[in-house]
Amino acid sequence: MFKNRLKYLFLLAAFVPFGCGSLCVAVAQVAVADDPRPEGGVYLIGMGPGAPDLLTIKARNILKKADRVYCFDFLEHEVARFVGSDALTVASPLLRGKHHMSDLGGLEGEKRKRALKSIAESERFVRHVQKLVAQGKTVAIAAAGDPTIFCPWSWVMGELGGSNFSVVPGLSSFNAANAALEQSITTKGGAVLISSGQHLGTADENGRLAMTLVFFTHRTKIDQLIERLLDRYRPDTPLAIVAEASYAGEQVIHSTLGKITKMLETRQLPKLYLLYVGDALQKRPDD
Ligand SMILES: C[S@@+](CC[C@H](N)C(=O)[O-])C[C@H]1O[C@@H](n2cnc3c(N)ncnc32)[C@H](O)[C@@H]1O
């Protein structure tokens, strides 16, 4: 499709009088560069952290022109802002990738059954998408935040990746939460560890936490995580929670490892939040 348009534009340039040929070529190049029409294939698209104006122009253009767009139910409302209902499909929760790469050997009973169903469903989905691409269609898979950070669709990069596949970056909730904290996340040359709770970092030689730990909490119970962190770091270690980053209800809480559990007894956190822990956090709690 793209090649055909180029051919047309070159023919146009070849038939105009020599004097205005260069102008026509320039106009033709602008027309191609401005045309956001995707060229077929599969796009794994980052939808940004939540606020609609934090979606990239590239992502929006692909969503608008795609023949078919898939997303999980929790993102339907956000994706539907840019995609007609005839093009949008809410994907089966079995595709969430939980069991896709799992070692089935360790699973039994209901868990094993669900894992097998999940694998069968993902194979069916891959075949379906490949068929659409073979028909010259453009398929978009819309993922929350950035698709390279704790993304339930990450498995499609292995299964559908190739010449007709692109990952379109999105602003992660990590970016939006950093902005809400209003500080440089790499202050004093510090390191950042992004974790879902498996990795807890290490204290420096003075027992301090020089690096900043950033926890995505979809697989974590915060009280258990705080307990594990207190086994390793001092109770006065600064901590921040950024909830619903970029949404109207965005909240930032500053506290310490030792005090947060008590604070949360009287304050319920929304579903989406990131936990920051480390001595580089600049705002301290009001004691
Ligand atoms: C499965 S991960 C997806 C992360 C996503 N790929 C990203 O780049 O933001 C879901 C977790 O991301 C975090 N999260 C997503 N959106 C958020 C938001 N707007 N504010 C705070 N945390 C958010 C929460 O910790 C949530 O449990």
pLDDT attached to residue 102: 63
> How would you list the strands of the sheet with 88-90, edge to edge?
88-90, 68-71, 138-143, 41-46, 165-168
Ligand 1 near 197 CB (within 6 A): no
pLDDT attached to residue 250: 97
Output the six-digit token pair for 244.
């619903």
pLDDT attached to residue 260: 96
Identity of residue 61: N
Ligand 1 near 145 CB (within 6 A): yes
For a pocket test of ligand 1, which of 157, 173, 198 has the largest count of ligand atoms closer than 8 A to its C-beta? Answer: 173
With a cut of 50, say whether residue 134 has pLDDT above it.
yes
Ligand 1 near 46 CB (within 6 A): no
Output the six-digit token pair for 212.
């900043």
Specify the residue with its C-alpha closest to ligand 1, atom 10: 218
| Lowest-confidence segment of 108-122, 124-138, 236-250 by average pLDDT | 108-122
Confidence of residue 125 (pLDDT cuts 50, 70, 90): very high
Confidence of residue 284 (pLDDT cuts 50, 70, 90): low
Ligand 1 atom, smallest distance to 172 CA: 8
What's the chain's average pLDDT?
85
Quick: pLDDT tens for 69-93: 999 999 999 999 999 999 999 999 9
* CB 211, CB 278: distance < 8 Å: yes
For a pocket test of ligand 1, which of 215, 272, 276 has the largest count of ligand atoms closer than 8 A to its C-beta? Answer: 272
For a pocket test of ligand 1, which of 47, 98, 150, 154 has the largest count of ligand atoms closer than 8 A to its C-beta? Answer: 150
Output the six-digit token pair for 165.
């596949």
Q: In angstroms, what is the C-alpha Rg of the chain?
A: 24
Ligand 1 near 274 CB (within 6 A): yes
Distance 154 CA to ligand 1 centre (A): 14
pTM: 0.84
Distance 274 CA to ligand 1 centre (A): 7
With a cut of 90, say whether residue 36 has pLDDT above it.
no
Q: What element of type H or E holds 143?
A: strand 138-143
What is d(CA 48, CA 54) in angstroms, rounded to the nearest whole number?
6
Ligand 1 near 214 CB (within 6 A): no
Confidence of residue 39 (pLDDT cuts 50, 70, 90): low
pLDDT attached to residue 28: 40
Domains annotated for the chain, with CATH where assigned, are 41-171 (3.40.1010.10), 175-277 (3.30.950.10)
Strand residue runs (E) in the chain: 41-46, 68-71, 88-90, 138-143, 165-168, 192-195, 212-216, 238-243, 251-256, 273-277
* Interval 246-261 mean pLDDT: 96
Distance 41 CA to ligand 1 centre (A): 27
Cα atoms found within 13 Å of the Cα of residue 40, Cβ hemisphere only = 12
Quick: pLDDT tens for 210-240: 999 999 999 899 999 999 999 999 999 999 9
* Interval 98-121 mean pLDDT: 82
Ligand 1 atom, smallest distance to 217 CA: 25
* Interval 62-70 mean pLDDT: 96
Ligand 1 atom, smallest distance to 216 CA: 25
110/175: higher pLDDT: 175
Ligand 1 atom, smallest distance to 146 CA: 8
pLDDT attached to residue 22: 43
Distance 262 CA to ligand 1 centre (A): 24
Ligand 1 near 217 CB (within 6 A): yes
With a cut of 70, say whether residue 43 has pLDDT above it.
yes
Ligand 1 near 151 CB (within 6 A): yes
